[in-house]
Structure 1
Amino acid sequence: MVGPAIRNSRSDLAVFGLLALVMLVTRTHSLSNVMHLPDTSLASFFVLGFLVRRAAAFAGLFLLGFAIDVTVIGWFGQSSFCFTPAYWMLVPAYGTMWLAGRFAAEKLGDQASALPPTIALLALATFVSELFSSGGFYFLGGRFADPTLAGFMPRLARYFPPTLYATLLWTGTAAGIHALLAMTRPTLLAKRGK
């Protein structure tokens, strides 16, 4: 018989592995010749916070994202335009998503009645994350002469809607898989350790 701590560790690893795989596929744009899938990064950190909640998992997923970016820029010739000192603003951007996922799991839960407040929380966290990432790039990246709030607002209006769409799409996909597993394999989703 497998104890709850081992079962939770295994399921945490499985969740982490799946999120890492999906991030590898979408962040590298490895399927771009066939189809362009929206980036899962923000959704991955939200789902990670909701399901795993271990700080080491957050660090691991962040390091994976960093490694992917370095690899596609250094070895596959993608543009390094976005790779500036402001790159580290992704730590609070992704941290916002991860903490929102933790909050949603601990305070809202995974019942159907929690769906509206969870969606609202997800949208708010995505907005804050976009402020950190896009705002950090715009104001701290050194790519724009004399950055101003008036200059940033059109960029926010341009980039936030597709970011929100991708985050809702991937988080909804993860929620659907979670609900399907809850119906078909309820013991697999037994109460997880915090």
Structure 2
Amino acid sequence: MSLIAYLKNKKLHILTLLGLAMLLTRGEHLLNSVSLPDASFALFLIGGMLIKKPRWFISLFVFSVVFDLITLSLSNHHHIPINLGYLGLLPSYGIMWFFGLSIANTRSFLKFAAFGVIATLIAFVISTQTYNLLSGNFPDITISESIQTGWEYLPQSFICTMSYLLAYWGIQSLFKRQFFSQKATAL
């Protein structure tokens, strides 16, 4: 791909912005001294809404894995769980992407919020349960204990994901209103 073609590729720009946001929010890592809450679930839903195709999902997922591996290799005090339980992120992020794809053309805030809530809850359950049951960190854990342990983290994960999604909705709504409305005035 030539540089000109690359610069004209809007979807590649969106993927780059999603990747940058992931870098800034992917838990405690080497790029910042203040840890921002993880935005990964929200970023995959937004990716599904904006860039849609499976190859972009795969690209963003591979980026997240590579980023985790680089962070782990550069710092031994970061504990990123790269094990069998980590595989739960693939269906979790896939759910977020699918729900984003399902609401890609919606103008309804209520539909956006409802799909965001449902997708976040499903993705959270999948990611926490696969980690608890498959990581090997809890060898004797039962399913009911795993569910109970997972619920302890739900409020924080849910609030952070929904906050990012609501911020996205607000920003894109303002942007559309300002720049794409027929009534928008010249700057």
Judge same fold: TM > 0.5, yes or no.
yes
Q: Which residue number in structure 2 is paired with residue 22 of structure 1?
A: 21
- The SS at the match of 1:146 is coil
Distance 2:77 2:45 in 1: 27
Is contact 1:28-1:72 (8 Å) kept?
no
> TM-score, normalised on structure 1?
0.82
Q: Distance in 2 between matches of 1:28 and 1:152?
A: 22
1:179 maps to 173
CA distance in 1 between partners of 2:35 and 2:91 (Å) = 27
Q: Give the whole-Å Cα distance in 2 for the aligned partners of 1:180 and 1:17.
A: 22
- 3-state SS, counterpart of residue 167 of structure 1: helix
Q: Is the 1:28–1:68 Cα contact (8 Å) retained in structure 2?
A: no
Residue 169 (structure 2) pairs with residue 170 (structure 1):
no
Q: Secondary structure at 1:53's aligned position in 2?
A: coil
CA distance, structure 1, for counterparts of residue 80 and residue 89 of structure 2: 15
Give the deviation of 1:48 after TM superposition. Answer: 0.3
Q: 1:151 aligns with which of 132, 145, 154?
A: 145
Aligned partner of residue 58 in structure 1, secondary structure = helix
CA contact (8 A) 1:93 1:129 kept: yes
More helix by share: 1
SS at match of 2:37: coil
* Conservation of the 8 A alpha-carbon contact between 1:49 and 1:102: yes
Match of 1:120 in 2: 114
User: What does the per-residue CA deviation read over 1:15-48, in whole Å, with 9 as the maximum and x for residues that have no partner?
Assistant: 2111110101111534652x32111100000000
CA RMSD between the two structures = 1.9
Identity of aligned residues (%): 26
Q: Secondary structure at the match of 1:105?
A: coil
Give the letter aligned to residue 148 of structure 1.
T
Matched residue, 1:95: 94
Displacement of 1:173 in angstroms is 1.7
Q: Find the counterpart in structure 1 of residue 54 from structure 2.
A: 55
Change (3 A) 1:18 1:100: same
Amino acid at match of 2:46: V
- 1:157 CA drift (Å): 1.6
Letter in 1 for 2:9: R
Alpha-carbon shift at residue 96 of structure 1 (Å) = 0.3
The residue number in structure 1 matching 2:133 is: 139
Q: Which residue of 2 aligns with 1:104?
A: 103
- Point out where structure 1 has 5 or more consecutive residues left out of the alignment: 1-5, 188-194
The one-letter code matched in structure 1 to 2:118 is L
Matched-pair contact (CA < 8 Å) for 2:129–2:147: no
Q: Flag the structure with more relative contact order, 1 or 2, with Cα contacts below 8 A and sequence separation at least 6.
A: 1
Please give the per-residue CA displacement for 1:59-92, whole angstroms capped at 9, x wherever unaligned: 1110110011101111122434622112111110
Deviations 1:160-187 (A, max 9, x none): 1111111111111221221122022228
**What amino acid maps onto 2:102 in structure 1?**
F
1:65 equivalent in structure 2: 64
